[in-house]
Amino acid sequence: MTAIVRAIVDTAALRHNLERVRATAPGSKVLAVIKANAYGHGIVPTAVALAGADGFAVARLEEGIALRAAGLRHRVLLLEGVFAPEQLRLAAHHDFDIMVHEPEQLALLEALPAARPYRVWLKVDTGMNRLGFKPGQVRQAIERLQACPAAAKPVTLVTHLANADDRDDAATTEQVALFERLVEGVPGERSIANSAGLIGFPAARGGWVRPGLMLYGVSPFADGTGESLGLRPAMTLATRVIAVKQVEAGERVGYGGVWRASRPSRLAIAAGGYGDGYPRNTAAGTQVLVAGRRATLAGRVSMDMIAVDVTDLPSVSVGEEVVLWGPGVPVEDVARAAGTIPYELICGVSQRVHLDVR
């Protein structure tokens, strides 16, 4: 293997994390969310590793088609639904479940002959104000689906939580209560919780949970890491040292010269930068592992490289392994140091990084 920057995916960690979901929500079915190339982990190998899930959720038709092309026969939900007769035809051909969150999508189904009904998930907007029927439209949408021969009965009823990653925000409990009120007495399974919802809000677990982030071993909460939740990080972003150099006290390092050596320093230059998905905003001082030992980022992240202060690791030499995130370097911490969330980091590993699924 010649690739220097690698995203190494540990499928045993994926399976372990699915077990954690099962243990946390033992009464729920698990719809594993593997949109966006399984949050950067590779959609097909991730789905194969998570074959023990009860179904998969993807955002786009092409993502679902990739799963069928790989021979996966699970239920696959298109989270954004379909918008044209041709997409509806493809959804039938591939036996996808479809989300209906918009009157246009209802009309599309109503225009169909009853041939083979679709498994429909009806989305209710309880305050996220992104997708879903507003509270005043929900009953009518349910009635239309119940009367629609192209929709299999009963439909599954869905809502999405806007702020479950803040365990103290009362809005989540209000969203769950509003949802239950709106669908009270309506037959069909319920689905509310993403990762944060299913960990933090037992009342949100319901029939189907929809974990994404926690399957990858990452905490959805603003503080802490997946490890404290019993999860194992599935992705390691690894690279190698490509140069080692000595600088004098006072010398400046990298673009803009924003980092200045406070003592005679040894720097390891490692391949990997924002062109690989390691964010440019990552602050100097952020931890990485060099040959398994802690060191810190020095200066700005470049497109293809970073500088690491290895003054206290005198044996470091060219070719040694550098871990940018993974076990021992929580991606949650890197995200905080870069002013973003771990979702963006793992999804944002770029095309030129070699994906090595083990």
Tell whether residue 345 is a contact of ligand PLP (CB under 6 A).
Answer: no
Q: How far is the CB of 179 from ligand PLP (least distance, A)?
A: 13
Q: How far is the CB of 99 from ligand PLP (least distance, A)?
A: 8
According to DSSP H, which parts of 207-273 are helical? none
Q: How many CB atoms lie within 10 A of CB 232?
A: 17
According to DSSP H, which parts of the chain are helical? 11-24, 35-40, 43-49, 61-69, 85-93, 103-110, 135-147, 170-182, 195-200, 331-337, 342-347
Nearer to ligand PLP by Cβ, of 79 and 106: the residue is: 79
Q: How far is the CB of 79 from ligand PLP (least distance, A)?
A: 5
Q: How many CB atoms lie within 10 A of CB 32?
A: 26
Residues with Cβ within 8 Å of 27's Cβ and at least 6 positions away in sequence, in order, are 205
Q: What is the spatial distance between Cα 102 and Cα 80, in angstroms, rounded to a whole number?
A: 10
Tell whether residue 160 is a contact of ligand PLP (CB under 6 A).
Answer: yes
Give residues 180-219 in contact with ligand PLP (rule: CB under 6 A): 194-196, 210-213
Nearer to ligand PLP by Cβ, of 44 and 347: the residue is: 347
Residue 277 near residue 349, CB atoms below 8 Å: yes
Give residues 35-74 in contact with ligand PLP (rule: CB under 6 A): 35
**Amino acid at the residue 185:** G
Residues with Cβ within 8 Å of 140's Cβ and at least 6 positions away in sequence, in order, are none
| 343 given a catalytic annotation | no
Q: Which two tokens stand for residue 134?
A: 């507003």
Tell whether residue 265 is a contact of ligand PLP (CB under 6 A).
Answer: no
Q: Convert residues 215-244 into a mask of x (bound to ligand PLP by CB under 6 A) and - (unbound).
A: -----x------------------------
Nearer to ligand PLP by Cβ, of 220 and 233: the residue is: 220
Residue 306 near residue 273, CB atoms below 8 Å: yes
Active-site residue, from 29, 35, 123, 134: 35
Active-site residue, from 134, 153, 245, 255: 255
| 118 given a catalytic annotation | no
Angle at which helix 103-110 crosses helix 135-147, to 10 degrees, equals 10
Q: How far is the CB of 21 from ligand PLP (least distance, A)?
A: 10
Q: How far is the CB of 210 from ligand PLP (least distance, A)?
A: 4
List residues near ligand PLP by CB under 6 A. Answer: 33, 35, 79, 160, 194-196, 210-213, 220
Which residues are tagged catalytic? 35, 255
